């Protein structure tokens, strides 16, 4: 029944996109669309696919050799012709443009694996391909509207200022296909704007396209302090106090009122002397007034937001974000019904989580931190700003933060369907997860981790990946929670050795559990365990095989070696319509991830590749860490042989051993004072 409902919802969403010709999305990082018409598909061994491969290579090599920032290619003829184009923002550096071209192409093909037509928008570039002719045309489907939730202090004034700015930018963009600029908004704010047209459009096409976008402002963004409206052919974006483009490249410096040259030339005739004096006086008065205004602005900010004040000095870009991410404590109290028990969603490793509903109806999840005082507030804010920038559809989005006295709250988007463990370990709900859904979940988790590891600017190692940290949205897409916690809790991310273990035994790689050595490969290990759990529907520790209690990886390995991998698969799946071949391939990938030798484990990038491409041959897995040859109580495996090499780790080590022999989920030692 649940599934039927899901299908209906997605159908509804699809319909509304098709009928209304636009969709409202709130993700900031990127958007994509897999073509208007789902029936225009290609298959994996078609000519179209080969042409697309060539087109991809062409674009990437064009970006490598040419720094113009706009690349097109056409490969093949007739129905199988691939037309592709990509354009970067004029103000991004060539190397960033290059990597955007590469990433966007890879990501789009992953997101839209079989549609002939697809578009993707990144902050830095836009990529499109299609079998239809896409050059020199204005394409307005889909138009995507994105807005920041916050209202401007004086919405009418803001709308007026914004309109003026956008009109001005449109004039410039028509000529250059790109324009940026700023204008003053209400209450001493600055509005920054950007407009861009696909460089192949003519001036009139560009104007028409931008007019179309501006016509939508009322729909999404009226009075909002930030927003974006995009379609495949053009885009516009604005923010308040957040300079998001590179001013030095994009803009000639804003024209300053220059004192007329006469004031500098030697004063000769008497007549001109009085004029010079007047000008000098005017200039001086102007400077004094400007200083006064600056002092006022500074005072205001100081009064309003002591927490973000020091940001003023060193990081102009973040002022806007810090303000727009900070929530009022009273608002959150009301939203969560004063942190009532009935609103409590659960207790995570870093504090309790409550559900809340803001006045505008938006649902949020509030994490009430038990952080101790090992980090200054300012440092904490800085980290929140960084982590909030990590936006991916497989990550739970951090919306903001809130302080009041000793209270520290993190505000997240609310994800409706609880966490994965509520489904896979529940004998009834488990049957809702057919193979198609489980496979989608596995793929989504992999992409989310890949983003954390490689694609985001921060390179984050999750360190506590497990079923209860994977949330499911209304369409059962997985969203990883609790990432970036090491940063927020001031555990050094760049250092590879820590004496504070964050994580859950059973999911932790041996080198991390025992020696505190973490790397992206320790996340890969946890991912492998998670995949085995999703496949088998059994918890790693309480895994039961007849009379034996052993860990899941050992069980999978043993069956793998004996040629009976199907034994690992959840009986519900074994008898379903799902592809056994795919399931066994997933077991294979999981076994590669839990290998004892860190270097043998694949990176998340290759995991994603293996999951996507069946032609990719897989390596033969070696023995997993913690492998137990047969029954409980046997020799400790090789992974723990070095027990005494680091005396201080002995207590951790003995815990690891006990995990192997205990069927209860061992929880971690609490590294933080509560
Ligand atoms: C085309 O592919 C999409 C997913 O990529 C799928 O939903 C759709 O059903 C496919 N259409 C046909 C006709 O196979
Ligand atoms: C880069 O590509 C553009 C558009 O295709 C072309 O006009 C320009 O001459 C190229 N520049 C170089 C250095 O090849
Ligand atoms: C694109 O491909 C689809 C299906 O293969 C075909 O129906 C359509 O006519 C093609 N479009 C163009 C412009 O070739
Ligand atoms: C923003 O303004 C609109 C219109 O006045 C109002 O309905 C909405 O509740 C406001 N939103 C917030 C978050 O204040
Ligand atoms: C802005 O552009 C200038 C000139 O190309 C460059 O030197 C600078 O590094 C850029 N700044 C950023 C933040 O990309």
Q: What is the DSSP string of 460-471?
A: ---S---GGGEE
Helix axis angle, 552-561 to 580-593, nearest 10°: 120
Q: Residues 326, 229: one domain?
A: no
Coil, strand or helix at 496: coil
CB 124 within 8 A of CB 88: yes
Q: Does residue 246 line the site of ligand 5, with CB under 6 A?
A: yes
Instruction: Kindly report the number of other CB atoms within 10 A of residue 577's CB atom.
Output: 8
- Positions annotated as catalytic residues are 464
Among all ligands shown, which has an atom nearest to the Cα of 250?
Answer: 5
Question: Which ranges in 22-136 belong to alpha helices (H)?
Answer: 47-65, 94-111
Q: What is the structure's pLDDT at 220?
A: 82
Per residue in 387-411, pLDDT (tens digit) is 888 888 899 999 998 888 778 889 9
Residues 412-435: what's their mean pLDDT?
Answer: 88
Per residue in 140-173, pLDDT (tens digit) is 888 888 888 788 989 999 999 999 999 999 999 9
Q: What is the structure's pLDDT at 545?
A: 59
Per residue in 460-494, pLDDT (tens digit) is 888 889 998 999 998 899 999 988 776 666 554 44
Per residue in 511-545, pLDDT (tens digit) is 777 777 778 899 999 999 999 999 999 888 766 55
Tokens linked to 544: 């039961």
Q: What is the structure's pLDDT at 290?
A: 62
Name which of 15, 14, 672, 72 is nearest 375 in CA terms.
672
- Measured by CA distance, the residue closest to atom 12 of ligand 5 is 246
Per residue in 603-660, pLDDT (tens digit) is 998 999 888 877 667 888 888 875 543 333 222 222 333 333 333 333 333 333 222 2
The atom number, within ligand 3, closest to the CA of 42 reads 5
Domain-embedded: residue 586: yes
The atom number, within ligand 4, closest to the CA of 150 reads 13
Q: Is 177 part of any known ligand binding site?
A: no
Local structure of residue 124 (DSSP, 8 states) = S
Is the per-residue pLDDT at 74 higher than 60? yes
Among all ligands shown, which has an atom nearest to the Cα of 114?
Answer: 1
Domain containing 465 equals: 421-612
Helix and strand numbers (H, E) in the chain are 22, 20
- Measured by CA distance, the residue closest to atom 7 of ligand 1 is 38
Ligand 2 mean position, distance from CA 68 (Å): 6
Q: Residues 459, 596: one domain?
A: yes
Ligand 5 mean position, distance from CA 188 (Å): 26
Q: Residues 121, 153: one domain?
A: no
Domain-embedded: residue 302: no
Ligand 5 mean position, distance from CA 192 (Å): 17
Q: Residues 450, 565: one domain?
A: yes
Top-confidence residue, 33 or 457: 33
Token pair 């059994």 in the structure block, residue: 538
Q: Specify the CATH number for the domain of residue 391.
A: 3.30.200.20
User: Which DSSP string corresponds to 515-567?
Assistant: H-B--HHHHHHHHHHHHHHHHH-S-STT-EETTEE--HHHHHHHHHHTT-GGG
Of the residues 580, 612, 644, which one is the last residue of a structural domain?
A: 612
Top-confidence residue, 296 or 453: 453
- Measured by CA distance, the residue closest to atom 3 of ligand 1 is 38
Domain-embedded: residue 209: yes
Domain-embedded: residue 650: no
Test site for ligand 5: of 248, 316, 318, 457, most ligand atoms within 8 A of the Cβ: 248
Is the per-residue pLDDT at 177 higher than 60? yes
Q: Residues 448, 480: one domain?
A: yes
Ligand 2 binding site (Cβ under 6 Å of any ligand atom): 66, 68
Coil, strand or helix at 494: coil
Q: Specify the CATH number for the domain of residue 577.
A: 1.10.510.10
Is the per-residue pLDDT at 218 higher than 50? yes
Name which of 86, 71, 32, 77 is nearest 50 in CA terms.
77
Ligand 2 mean position, distance from CA 399 (Å): 41
635: left (phi over 0), alpha (psi -120 to 50) or beta: beta
CB hemisphere CA count around 101 (13 angstroms): 32
Among all ligands shown, which has an atom nearest to the Cα of 81?
Answer: 3
Coil, strand or helix at 268: coil
Q: Residues 551, 458: one domain?
A: yes
Cα-based torsion angle of the residue sequence 525, 528, 534, 536 in order, rounded to the nearest 10 degrees: -110
Spacing of C-alpha 409 from chain mean position: 20
Q: Residues 470, 594: one domain?
A: yes
Domain-embedded: residue 296: no
Ligand 5 mean position, distance from CA 473 (Å): 39
Of the pLDDT bands very low, low, confident and very high (cuts 50, 70, 90), residue 594 is: very high
Of the pLDDT bands very low, low, confident and very high (cuts 50, 70, 90), residue 496 is: low
Q: Does residue 10 line the site of ligand 1, with CB under 6 A?
A: no
The atom number, within ligand 4, closest to the CA of 358 reads 13
Strand partners for 227: 147, 238
CB 229 within 8 A of CB 213: yes
CA distance 118 to 92: 23
Q: Residues 512, 589: one domain?
A: yes
Domain-embedded: residue 623: no
Local structure of residue 432 (DSSP, 8 states) = G
Domain-embedded: residue 550: yes
Name which of 452, 492, 491 is nearest 469 in CA terms.
452
Ligand 4 binding site (Cβ under 6 Å of any ligand atom): 149, 151, 223, 360
Q: Does residue 273 line the site of ligand 5, with CB under 6 A?
A: no
pTM, to two decimals: 0.46
Q: Specify the CATH number for the domain of residue 149.
A: 3.30.430.20
Q: What is the structure's pLDDT at 145?
A: 82
Percent of the chain with pLDDT over 70: 70
The atom number, within ligand 5, closest to the CA of 96 reads 14
Q: How many domains does the chain have?
A: 4
CA distance 295 to 384: 28
Per residue in 265-324, pLDDT (tens digit) is 333 344 444 444 444 444 555 555 565 555 544 444 333 333 322 222 223 333 345 667
Ligand 5 mean position, distance from CA 243 (Å): 13
Of the residues 378, 394, 413, which one is the last residue of a structural domain?
A: 413
Among all ligands shown, which has an atom nearest to the Cα of 10?
Answer: 1
Q: Residues 455, 572: one domain?
A: yes
Q: Does residue 276 line the site of ligand 5, with CB under 6 A?
A: no
Domain-embedded: residue 276: no
CA distance 448 to 143: 26
Per residue in 311-337, pLDDT (tens digit) is 222 233 333 456 678 888 889 999 999
Q: What is the structure's pLDDT at 322?
A: 65
Residues 419-443: what's their mean pLDDT?
Answer: 89
Pairing of strands 31-33, 544-545: unpaired
Test site for ligand 3: of 48, 75, 132, most ligand atoms within 8 A of the Cβ: 132
Q: In whole numbers, what is the pLDDT of the chain averaged over residues?
A: 75
Of the residues 582, 612, 642, which one is the last residue of a structural domain?
A: 612
Q: Does residue 41 line the site of ligand 1, with CB under 6 A?
A: yes
Name which of 314, 341, 652 is nearest 501 in CA terms.
652
Q: What is the structure's pLDDT at 544?
A: 58
Ligand 2 mean position, distance from CA 37 (Å): 33
Per residue in 17-62, pLDDT (tens digit) is 332 233 333 223 458 888 876 668 899 889 999 999 999 999 999 9
């Amino acid at each position: 029944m649940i599934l039927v409902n899901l299908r209906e919802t997605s159908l509804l969403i699809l319909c509304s996109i098709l009928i209304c010709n636009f969709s409202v999305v709130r993700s900031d990082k990127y958007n994509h669309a897999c073509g208007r018409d789902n029936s225009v598909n290609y298959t994996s061994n078609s000519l179209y696919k080969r042409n697309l491969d060539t087109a991809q290579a062409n674009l990437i090599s064009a970006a490598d050799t040419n720094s113009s920032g706009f690349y097109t290619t056409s490969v093949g003829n007739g129905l199988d012709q691939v037309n592709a184009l990509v354009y970067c923002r004029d103000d991004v550096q060539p190397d960033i443009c290059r990597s955007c071209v590469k990433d966007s192409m890879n990501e789009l093909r992953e997101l839209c694996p079989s549609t002939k037509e697809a578009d993707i928008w990144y902050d830095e570039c836009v990529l499109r391909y299609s079998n239809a002719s896409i050059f020199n045309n204005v394409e307005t489907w889909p138009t995507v509207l994105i807005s920041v939730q916050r209202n401007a202090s004086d919405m009418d004034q803001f709308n007026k200022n914004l309109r003026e700015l956008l009109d001005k930018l449109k004039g410039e963009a028509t000529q250059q296909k790109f324009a940026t600029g700023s204008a003053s908004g209400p209450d001493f704010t600055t509005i920054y704007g950007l407009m861009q047209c696909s460089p192949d459009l003519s001036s009139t096409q560009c104007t028409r396209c931008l007019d179309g976008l501006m016509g939508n402002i009322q729909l999404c963004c009226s009075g909002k302090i930030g927003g974006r409206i995009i379609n495949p052919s053009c885009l516009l974006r604005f923010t308040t106090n957040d300079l998001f483009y590179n001013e030095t490249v994009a803009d000639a410096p804003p024209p300053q009122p220059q004192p007329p040259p006469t004031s500098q030339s030697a004063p000769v005739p008497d007549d001109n002397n009085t004029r010079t004096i007047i000008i000098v006086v005017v200039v001086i008065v102007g400077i004094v007034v400007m200083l006064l205004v600056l002092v006022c602005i500074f005072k205001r900010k100081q009064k309003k937001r002591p927490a973000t004040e020091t940001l003023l000095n060193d990081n102009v870009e973040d002022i806007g974000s810090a303000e727009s991410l900070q929530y009022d404590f009273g608002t959150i109290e009301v939203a969560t019904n004063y942190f009532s028990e009935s609103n409590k969603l659960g207790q995570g490793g870093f504090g309790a989580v409550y559900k809340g509903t803001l006045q505008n109806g938006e649902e949020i999840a509030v994490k009430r931190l038990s952080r101790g005082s090992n980090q200054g507030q300012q440092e904490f804010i800085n980290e929140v700003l960084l982590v909030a920038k990590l936006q991916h559809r497989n990550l739970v989005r951090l919306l903001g933060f809130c302080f009041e006295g000793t209270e520290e709250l993190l505000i997240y988007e609310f994800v409706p369907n609880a966490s994965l463990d509520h489904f896979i370990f529940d004998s009834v709900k488990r049957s809702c997860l057919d193979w198609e859904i489980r496979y989608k979940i596995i793929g989504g988790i992999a992409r989310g981790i890949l983003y954390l590891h490689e694609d985001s600017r921060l390179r984050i190692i999750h360190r506590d990946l497990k079923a209860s940290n994977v949330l499911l949205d209304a369409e059962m897409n997985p969203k990883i929670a609790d990432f970036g916690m090491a940063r927020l809790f001031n555990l050094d991310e760049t250092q590879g050795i820590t004496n504070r273990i964050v994580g859950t035994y059973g999911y932790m790689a041996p080198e991390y559990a025992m020696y505190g050595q973490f790397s992206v490969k320790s996340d890969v290990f946890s991912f492998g365990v998670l995949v085995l759990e999703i496949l088998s529907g059994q918890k790693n520790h309480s895994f039961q095989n007849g009379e034996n209690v052993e860990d899941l990886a050992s069980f999978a390995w043993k069956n793998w070696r004996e040629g009976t991998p199907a034994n690992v698969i959840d009986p519900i799946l074994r008898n379903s319509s799902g592809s056994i071949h795919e399931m066994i391939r997933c077991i294979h990938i999981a076994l590669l991830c839990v290998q004892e030798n860190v270097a043998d484990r694949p990176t998340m990038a290759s995991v994603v590749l293996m999951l996507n491409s069946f032609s990719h041959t897989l390596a033969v897995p070696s023995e997993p860490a913690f492998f137990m040859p047969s029954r409980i109580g046997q020799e400790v495996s090789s992974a723990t042989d070095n027990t005494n090499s680091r005396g201080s780790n002995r207590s951790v080590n003995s815990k690891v051993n006990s995990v192997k022999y205990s069927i209860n989920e061992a929880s971690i030692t609490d590294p933080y004072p509560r």
